[in-house]
Amino acid sequence: MKRNILSLFIVFSISLFTISCSKDDTDKQNVNETANLELVTILINNNHKVEIYNSNGQLNNGYNEIFVRIKDNAGTYINNASLEWNPVMHMMSMSHSCPYSAITRVLGTQTLYSGYIIFQMAGNESEYWELTINYTIGGKNFSVQGRINVSQSEKRTLNVFTGTDGVKYILAMIEPAVPKVAVNTMTAVLYKMESMSAFTVADNFRIKIDPRMPGMNNHTSPNNKALTQSNTGGVYKGALSLTMTGYWKINLQLEDAQGNLLKGEPVTETNESSSIWFEIEF
């Protein structure tokens, strides 16, 4: 009798464990990993649909955080892919790429991958961006490509310029995406253009900021902090003080590791703006 009861208990425990594991797997599959994202476009090949997302469903010139999911023809999202991408701008007389990051799995998700692309310019009917995504699943290589729409940003969040050292730089603002009347964390990325298709992170520079309100006698604000890197290859981080709502022009100056001024000018009584700047309005 005791042996029968023990056997029933073991069977019951195994059944509960199996049901629990099955429920956990189902719950993971049913989690909407793109609940807070908007679909930008879908790139399609014979094997998969590659879904492109971001926060608002629109790509702009400047810094874009982008999310990717891959779905097979059976409707199953892939959770074991390795991906890389290559954006190319097709112009009337030439083609070029732009700075972009690696693509990695989003922490805490099963099928969502992310990275960023910094588009230097918006597209139009005759000059457009094309995105190629190469990916590997289970040792098999795949590729998908398609034209993507890149619009002009409403505010200036990107500067492309040549420094006094003869190097071409791409400087793009990341934060604050939602500015507040406060001392905001400010982040940006800085790249060197090595060629039309190669870009490298510019390390150990200093980005000085001077926020001004042109419509309010060009006044500034206190407690601003220049943007610097905390690690090689990383973003630049500083502090941006916004003392009121309205239109702000964030005047910039770029210095190298030795303190040499490469681009930008100080704001003075006779010079109202630097030649490089960001814009914020809220």
Tell me what pLDDT residue 1 has.
52
Tell me what pLDDT residue 14 has.
52
Q: Is pTM, for the whole model, over 0.85?
A: yes
Tell me what pLDDT residue 26 has.
43
Query: How many other C-beta atoms lie within 10 A of the C-beta of residue 219?
Result: 12
Tell me what pLDDT residue 114 has.
99
Tell me what pLDDT residue 181 has.
99
Tell me what pLDDT residue 31 has.
77
What is the C-alpha to C-alpha distance for residues 106 and 114, in angstroms, rounded to an integer? 6
Per-position pLDDT tens, the chain of length 282: 545 554 544 544 555 444 454 444 444 455 799 999 999 999 999 999 999 999 999 999 999 999 999 999 999 999 999 999 999 999 999 999 999 999 999 999 999 999 999 999 999 999 999 999 999 999 999 999 999 999 999 999 999 999 999 999 999 999 999 999 999 999 999 999 999 999 999 999 999 999 999 999 999 999 999 999 999 999 999 999 999 999 999 999 999 999 999 999 999 999 999 999 999 999
Tell me what pLDDT residue 11 has.
46
What is the C-alpha to C-alpha distance for residues 142 and 165, in angstroms, rounded to an integer? 41
Domains and CATH numbers, the chain: 38-151 (2.60.40.10), 158-281 (2.60.40)
In terms of phi and psi (left: phi > 0; alpha: psi -120 to 50; beta: otherwise), the region of 233 is: left
Tell me what pLDDT residue 16 has.
47
Phi and psi dihedrals of 209, rounded to 5?
A: -125, 145
Burial class (CB in 10 A: 0-12, 13-18, 19+), 105: middle
